[in-house]
């Protein structure tokens, strides 16, 4: 079945460590996104990519990094510079603008910093 796979579903990290969250899609979508969800704050955009080898910062990119070497993959690295990394992280994809279409989301990854 086509969809978006995020891994791991749960991840624990010690302070000062970098961690990479995986996002893979087989929907043949050009655009991919990373969002963060915190209680009471909805979904906030971290990074997005409209095409391979190109990506743009979202509203809360500080302390995060991404790469887009393949169309199917858009990994997110949470670096030690991120002050409050404990959150639920969601990856999404869609057809490339300007074609209209909804975002398809993965199941999410919950990161907890110990």
Region near another protein per CB under 8 A, out of 13-21, 60-68, 69-77, 86-94: 86-94
Angle at 87 between CA 64 and CA 52, to 5 degrees: 40
Residue 104 engages another protein in binding (rule: CB under 8 A): yes
Nearest to 95 by CA among 51, 40, 34: 51
47 sits near another protein (criterion: CB under 8 A): no
Window contacting another protein (CB under 8 A); options: 12-20, 34-42, 65-73, 75-83: 34-42
Interatomic CA distance for residues 6 and 104, integer angstroms = 12
Q: Binding residue for another protein (CB under 8 A) from 26, 69, 70, 97?
A: 97
Selected range binding another protein among 11-19, 66-74, 75-83, 98-106, rule: CB under 8 A? 98-106
Decide if residue 52 touches another protein (CB under 8 A): no
7 by DSSP, 3-state: which?
Answer: strand
**For 47-52, which contacts have Cβ atoms below 8 Å and span 24 or more sequence positions?**
47/76, 49/74, 50/96, 50/97, 51/96
86 binds another protein (CB under 8 A): no
């Amino acid at each position: 079945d086509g969809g978006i796979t995020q891994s791991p579903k749960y991840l624990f990290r010690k302070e000062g460590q970098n961690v990479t969250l995986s996002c893979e899609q087989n929907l043949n979508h050009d655009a991919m996104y990373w969002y963060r969800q915190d209680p009471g704050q909805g979904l906030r955009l971290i990074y997005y990519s409209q095409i391979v080898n190109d990506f743009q910062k979202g509203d809360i990119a500080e302390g995060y990094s991404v790469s887009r070497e393949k169309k199917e993959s858009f990994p997110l690295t949470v670096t030690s510079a991120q002050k409050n990394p404990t959150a639920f992280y969601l990856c999404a994809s869609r057809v490339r603008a300007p074609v209209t279409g909804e975002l398809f989301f993965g199941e999410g990854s919950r990161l907890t910093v110990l």
